[in-house]
Amino acid sequence: MQYTFDWNLVLSGERLDWIVQGVITTCQLSGLSLVLAMLLGTLIAVMRLSGVRPFVWFSVAFTEFFRNTPLLVQIFFWYFGSDAVLPDAVNQWLYKQNFEFAAGVISLTVYTAAFIAEEIRSGIFSIPRTQLEASRACGLSFMQAMSYVVLPQAFRIIVPPLISQALNLFKNSSLCMTIGVMELTYMARQIESYTFHGFEAFTVSTLIYLCISLMVSLLINLYNTHFLRTIKY
């Protein structure tokens, strides 16, 4: 039997609403996870450079563990095993909310934070250590020197790799369909189940991912061009 393409099944009516809702959920999932990953990654990077041994050991263990284990395994861990590691009050609150969405956010946050922490640490290393020493000599604490002097300069340098991490997070969010988060890939799979037109459904979702990825890549190129021009002049 010859396959008949029918794009209207995906691009009209209720199915189009599913696609739109999937894009919205994907953006919400990725955006919230990125903000939390930036905060956590910055904290982990600063802890590793603090010189306080318990903080250093914890930050090293955090980055090595989460960078070297598959994201899908981590998603299943937080979804099926959160009862064992999170307080009962937190678990009860999560179950009252959208537990699948929360588990996805936690998984993406800790996984991406491990990579962001290393990007931030490399950015800090690119700043002359004399600036940190001079800040301390002026009476600033280690945290104040990091917050007001070192980190602002480091972030300016590592914007391109941070945008790349944001792009990776956006694409990795598709794995959250495995625990029932109704993001874009989940919706495409649902359309395929209802209509048996998987080619059209996944073609549309693939093009959406591609368009967003290309826009992010364009931002990276524009920033690199602007940054190089600023250095030159």
Provide the residue-wise pLDDT of the chain in tens; the chain has 233 residues: 567 788 888 888 899 999 999 999 999 999 999 999 999 999 999 999 888 899 999 999 999 999 999 999 999 999 988 777 777 777 777 777 788 999 999 999 999 999 999 999 999 888 888 887 788 888 888 888 888 888 888 888 888 888 889 999 999 999 999 999 999 999 999 999 988 888 999 999 999 999 988 988 887 777 777 765 665 55
Q: For domain 8-232, which architecture applies?
A: Orthogonal Bundle (1.10)
Using the Cα atoms of residue 171, residue 176, residue 182 and residue 187 in order, give the sign of their dihedral: positive
pLDDT value of residue 136: 80
Residue 173 to residue 205: CA distance in whole angstroms: 13
- The confidence score (pLDDT) of residue 26 equals 96
Tell me the C-alpha to C-alpha distance, in Å, between residue 189 and each of 23, 167, 172, 182, 209.
Answer: 14, 22, 16, 10, 15
Return the pLDDT at 128.
83
In the prediction, which pLDDT does 195 show? 86
- Regarding pTM above 0.85, the answer is yes
CB half-sphere exposure, 45, CA atoms < 13 A: 26
User: What pLDDT, on a 0 to 100 scale, did the predictor assign at position 171?
Assistant: 94
Nearest to 46 by CA among 104, 138, 113, 124: 124
Q: How far apart are CA 206 and CA 123, in angstroms?
A: 33
The pLDDT assigned to 198 comes to 87
Residue 227 is predicted with a pLDDT of 63
